[in-house]
Structure 1
Amino acid sequence: MKTILFSILFAFSLTMSFAQSGEKVVKIKTSAICEMCKERLERNLGLSKGVKESNLNLDDKVMTVKYNPKKTDVASIKETIVKTGYDADEVVADQKAHDKLPKCCQKTAAAHSDM
């Protein structure tokens, strides 16, 4: 019984290792400003098919996204960022989405810190 259980657990761990090794990581420069921007972007990317993890570094405004290349690609990830209202590298934010952001999160807003 222990041998069977061990074999099943071993096979499962191998499968998970191979599945995770197929993931890719991309870094995308954004126009995000504050913690609200960070939360909004990470939430929207988290709802995107194929995105495993996303994290925005507010110091350099770079979004690091871990994704499954079988389910999504860099262009789709950038499209999600753009449709959320932010620039994504060379792709400019969707104007309508940008205009719906809180005033403090729009590109013309001065940099600010959260309390």
Structure 2
Amino acid sequence: MQTIVLNVLNLGDGNRIKQGDKSVMRYQLIDENDELSIVGKVEVVYLYKSSKIIYKKETTVENIDDKDVVIVKIDDILPRGTYMLEIVVDDKYVFPSDESEKIEVTKSILGRTFE
């Protein structure tokens, strides 16, 4: 049986937004071996579709309630669709270890340039 080493947990903010929505989505970064010290480290959030990077943003890992947390806020208006989420911390760790976490962007009047 395979075990996922690095995982993300959506902290209840959801994973579906409209085009242009700048709501915050928080993800806890989980190391099944519990060996990482990543608070304050640079992390890059990637949203991709069909192996093409659609969105990239750099921030830092925060400590919220003793959890390693990444705050995702999409500042751009993206084409509607479902995107894979990947978070790279300190150019060493890639969360999650599988392709389980997705963000869905739904149609909005703000995205009319993509129609």
Q: Same fold (TM over 0.5)?
A: no
- Determine which structure has greater relative contact order: mean sequence separation of CA pairs < 8 Å that are 6+ residues apart, divided by chain length: 2
| TM-score, length basis structure 1 | 0.35
**More strand as a share of residues:** 2
**More helix as a share of residues:** 1
